[in-house]
Structure 1
Amino acid sequence: METKQKILIVGDVCGKLKSFFSRVETLNKKTGPFDLVLCVGSFFGKSPEVAELNDYKTGKKNVPVPTYILGPNDEASAKFYSNTQDGDICENLSYLGKRGIYSTSTGLKIAYVSGTEADNESGKKVPEWKFTKDDVVAVRDSCFASKSNMGDYRGVDVLLTSQWPIGIREQVKHGSKQIAWLANAIKPRYHFCGQNGDYFEPPPYRNKPDKNTQMELATRFIALAEFGNQNKKKHIYALNVTPVDKMRIIELIQKTTDEIVSPYASMDFGEEQKGSRGNRGDQYFYDMNNYDDSRGNKRRSQGNRISANFDPKRQKPSFDQEKCWFCMSSGSIEKHLIISVGDHFYLALAKGPINDTHILILSITHIQNASLLSPEQWSELNKFKSALAQFFKDREETIFLYERNYKTGHLQINAIGIDNNVAWKIKHVLEDKSEEHNLTLETVELAASPADMPQKTPYFVAELPDGTMMYTKQMKQFPLHFGREIICADNLLNCEEKIDWRQCNLEKEAEEAMAKSFRESFKPYDFTVV
């Protein structure tokens, strides 16, 4: 599998849409193909060309390469983000979100923070084009959350910010201390920013080791000028990069002759260094022996963000983590639905459950789908599947599992029990429903590893009781409730009125009671309980 990705990073586009996309198309034909384009700084501006945005929305004009942009930097540009559909502004043009991590199909990790730093006035509402200390801490926590051991952190591949960090250059008067803190904490291999109208690329600097990593990782800081500027300052940067997790350690620590001291080495971040979430371990280890939700020990969130216009060369990013329903580092959490938490996965009661044992298996960190799991993650996923299978077996039910990697930015696997007397009908219902929706489902042996899952493409996979799985990669206009249609069919659970999860929403008190009941019943099968 090819791990390198060719990407373009572009400075402030400032609304010059026609010129920008024309230039990208030329570069893609001449020196590409590029997997994606990342834009920092102000994407929408006052150029007359920004009025042509509707031409791209209607399909009259096309965006040539999947392009991802940061959020607004001022009130005037905020209006362009107000009507985005699941992050998509139009086909191949997507808003990443206020903050988060973009993980590509090859494992490239791109951290990002949109907007400019907010002031410190307490009680004042923060506008959407400003970020706070909580935003940068959430990104820091998400970078560290996938590492189970102190000291094994390798950094992230790219950090995208619109605002410059303070301390990187004396001439910059409006740098952000929060961005400097974040860059110092997560140690990106590349840090790109815009908004200052200048190109600046000093020699790489070497980060100091800390409790999270003993490696002396290097960072290249690159500020890009405005796209198409009259002074012809550099505004486009091309990278052909291998994900940091797939590089040899010797490559990460190898020094060059032109390195400089970290610009943040002498900075005193004080309390900012601790962040608002305490130490790293507190962020993703939970005490599951006490289920009093008022203590705030368990977390759960949900999120849906994948476009129907999915390019097989890319995986859609798991966008704004603050709004992700499933990511544990999110602020939009429903902790009362948590059932069990492992090292890489957790169980939660489904939102809008079909019945009181409708469960989701969810990755703790942002992972797009099961095909991207590491061996350790795959192993724990199977442990949760086996535990649930035994739970349902003892209830004289057969577990039914399915994953929809389409229009969702976070790995989620539905699990529910089907009465043993009718479980044999699952395959027939799948065949009938696929025919009804003009879908072709293939039957293969159950996946033994992530490599056996469909690769670099959206998919739907259902695991059958006979040890096989049925899947389809035919996702154009795929029905989002297809999995629930199977479960709710009249010859299985016979509750077709529950196909749409929104029709099954419960009051929080009912959800709490249902989750508590399942949690207690599942305890004998829960391998995470010590």
Structure 2
Amino acid sequence: MDANAKILVVGDVRGRFKQLFNRVEAVNKKAGPFEICCCVGDFFGADEQNEELIAYKNGFKHITVPTYILGPNKKADNKHFEDLDDGEICTNLTYLGKRGVYTLSSGVKIAYLSGVEAAGDNAGEHEFTKADVQAVRNSCLVSKSCATDYRGVDVLLTSQWPYGLQEKENAKASKLISYLCREIKPRYHFCAINGTAYECPPFRIPKDLTTQFELCTRFISLADVGNATKSKYIYALSLKPVDKARLLDLVQKTTDEIDCPFIGLDFEGAIRKNETSENQQFFYDMDSGNNRKRRGEGGNREKRPRIMHIEQDNCWFCLSSDQVEKHLIITIGERFYLALAKGPINSHHILILSTKHVPCAAQLSNEEWEELDKFKNALRKYFKSLGQVVCFTERHYMTSHLVIDVLSLEDGYAWKIKHSFEDKAEEFNFELETLPPLTSQSMLPERGPYFLAELPDDSTLLTRQMKHFPMHFARDVFCAENLLNCDEKVNWKECLLEKEEEIQYVQDFRKGFAPFDFTDDDD
């Protein structure tokens, strides 16, 4: 039976680092080991107070429990979060980031949102906006496997309070945080920054389109570390991850519950109506932009899970984004374009990408689908002229933008491809369903992550079993010994080319594809 995960949560530190880490060490010795310590509220204090951290940065003193902090809550503190190397402040002390979902090795899911609510859409480093809140919500909903089975997350960390609790004492509460809490349904919600230690009775968030269960939330505000009144500033949790917990434990009611404080709140102005759970268009997005690493107790590094932010300006693939590597582009249509894959398996390994921010093929319009189909048919004809067959794959999981991988093989290998996919799926313990030719977006899952492969025989392989899905699955298949026989190229990061090589690959492909390129028809 899986043991419960042990977590510590601490309120405003405000430069009292020695007191904090001594207290955490004592609690860890007595009741640990704790997997993580999370700090909400203001972590840094006045400049002279922050000098206590120097001994930890220099290695003269040690932090015994991996500690993660939220970002600044006022403009003056922004300076402390500049130029951090992967968020690391020192050994075992890490800045989580502005927003996201952090999954511990135990399986515990921690959603977090740094800062205070901005007055408008233009936020400073110490503020969050509607877009930040929506991004956290969408990242939490990524784990849903069907429309009504969402179980919530284990912990929500914010510095600012949600609106609806003790408004008289807390005039700076945020309706955006109330909305976020209602949508993602955390088992525990921790806050700080107003100096109050407060724990209200548990309340139950009503079921909605994301879940058929009425899930319970416990709200806890923590006081400052070392406060004069000795109010509670550290909280210990021992819990089984929500995905491993018995459903009965999640829905069982207690005698001291109160009504949900967010029922009846008007979110107009904070969140537009079509941005709530009343709308069934969810994004299943996790951004690699904040893919940092955390340092464990022995100094060993573990990879953090990817955290998705839905920010078109920073998307690697939106043509309007500055992040697009323009030299990789082969040809551009009205709604799609072709580009050389980054870290390609060979010179014919390309991508079909939507010009605008579309998360997956299932959400394409009829016009978009029509142009996508034209690109596929053009590529089939091109590769046929080379004596090759082509396979198209899409992984709608841990990605925010529609990306279709295009890989070709010698015609004689065509009969092996389906068997190779099925064998590799069996190796990774999931099943692929065989579908007829993919003729419409309506054939794809309307909601939720999926993987598909369109084969040379016009059949389609599809799976929705995406828990622990291997990120390089398609490359695993094609690089296997019975196909391209290049296992060393499974990871694209191991196949990166110099820019000059990439430019040459693009020029060569563009020249060969020119007779089949319909985007030039109107020139």
Aligned to 2:2: 2
Amino acid at match of 2:316: E
Aligned to 1:245: 243
Offset of residue 142 of structure 1: 1.5
Task: From the superposition, tell whether residues 265 and 56 of structure 1 become closer, same or farther in structure 2 (CA, over 3 Å).
Answer: same
Aligned to 1:415: 475
Aligned pairs, number: 396
Give the TM-score of the pair, scaled to structure 2.
Answer: 0.65
Secondary structure in structure 1 of the residue aligned to 2:430: helix
Offset of residue 418 of structure 1: 5.7
Aligned to 1:379: 430
Amino acid at match of 2:226: G
Cα deviation digits, residues 441-495 of structure 1 (max 9, x gap) = xxxxxxxxxxxxxxxxxxxxx98xxxxxxxxxxxxxxxxxx9755x68xxxxxxx
Match of 2:163 among 160, 166, 176: 166
Secondary structure in structure 1 of the residue aligned to 2:218: strand
Task: From the superposition, tell whether residues 77 and 420 of structure 1 become closer, same or farther in structure 2 (CA, over 3 Å).
Answer: same
Answering whether residue 268 of structure 2 is matched by residue 270 of structure 1, we say yes
Amino acid at match of 1:222: I
Match of 1:351 among 327, 342, 358: 342
Percent identical pairs in the alignment equals 42
Cα deviation digits, residues 103-151 of structure 1 (max 9, x gap) = 112221111110000003x6xx421100001111111112122214221
Query: Could you tell me how far apart the structure 2 residues matched to 1:198 and 1:150 are?
Result: 38
Secondary structure in structure 1 of the residue aligned to 2:281: helix
Secondary structure in structure 2 of the residue aligned to 1:76: helix
Aligned to 1:332: 314
Offset of residue 378 of structure 1: 5.7
CA contact (8 A) 1:301 1:332 kept: no
Aligned to 1:526: none
CA contact (8 A) 1:198 1:224 kept: yes
Query: Could you tell me how far apart the structure 2 residues matched to 1:505 and 1:190 are?
Result: 49
CA contact (8 A) 2:306 2:398 kept: no
Q: Which has the larger radius of gyration?
A: 2
- Structural RMSD (CA): 4.3
Query: Could you tell me how far apart the structure 2 residues matched to 1:175 and 1:8 are?
Result: 24
CA contact (8 A) 1:104 1:314 kept: no
Query: Could you tell me how far apart the structure 2 residues matched to 1:302 and 1:502 are?
Result: 22
Query: Could you tell me how far apart the structure 1 residues matched to 2:53 and 2:198 are?
Result: 30
Offset of residue 55 of structure 1: 3.3
Offset of residue 75 of structure 1: 1.6
Aligned to 1:454: none
Task: From the superposition, tell whether residues 39 and 506 of structure 1 become closer, same or farther in structure 2 (CA, over 3 Å).
Answer: farther
Amino acid at match of 1:379: F
Give the TM-score of the pair, scaled to structure 1.
Answer: 0.64
Amino acid at match of 1:351: K
Secondary structure in structure 2 of the residue aligned to 1:34: coil
- What pairs with 1:280-429 in structure 2 (closer than 5 Å)? 281-284=280-283, 302-303=288-289, 305-307=291-293, 309-310=295-296, 316-318=303-305, 321-322=308-309, 332-335=314-317, 350-351=341-342, 353=344, 355-357=347-349, 364-365=397-398, 379=430, 387=453, 415=475
Offset of residue 156 of structure 1: 0.9
CA contact (8 A) 1:99 1:135 kept: yes
Aligned to 2:142: 145
Aligned to 1:127: 124
Task: From the superposition, tell whether residues 145 and 422 of structure 1 become closer, same or farther in structure 2 (CA, over 3 Å).
Answer: closer
Amino acid at match of 1:23: R
Task: From the superposition, tell whether residues 228 and 358 of structure 1 become closer, same or farther in structure 2 (CA, over 3 Å).
Answer: farther
What residue ranges of structure 1 are gaps of 5+ in the alignment? Answer: 286-298, 323-327, 339-347, 367-373, 392-404, 431-461, 464-481, 489-497, 521-530
CA contact (8 A) 2:139 2:286 kept: no
Secondary structure in structure 1 of the residue aligned to 2:134: helix
Task: From the superposition, tell whether residues 483 and 178 of structure 1 become closer, same or farther in structure 2 (CA, over 3 Å).
Answer: closer
Aligned to 2:199: 201
CA contact (8 A) 1:352 1:506 kept: no
Offset of residue 349 of structure 1: 6.8
Secondary structure in structure 2 of the residue aligned to 1:78: helix
Offset of residue 351 of structure 1: 3.3
Query: Could you tell me how far apart the structure 2 residues matched to 1:112 and 1:162 are?
Result: 9
Query: Could you tell me how far apart the structure 1 residues matched to 2:265 and 2:97 are?
Result: 29
Task: From the superposition, tell whether residues 361 and 204 of structure 1 become closer, same or farther in structure 2 (CA, over 3 Å).
Answer: same
Offset of residue 278 of structure 1: 8.6
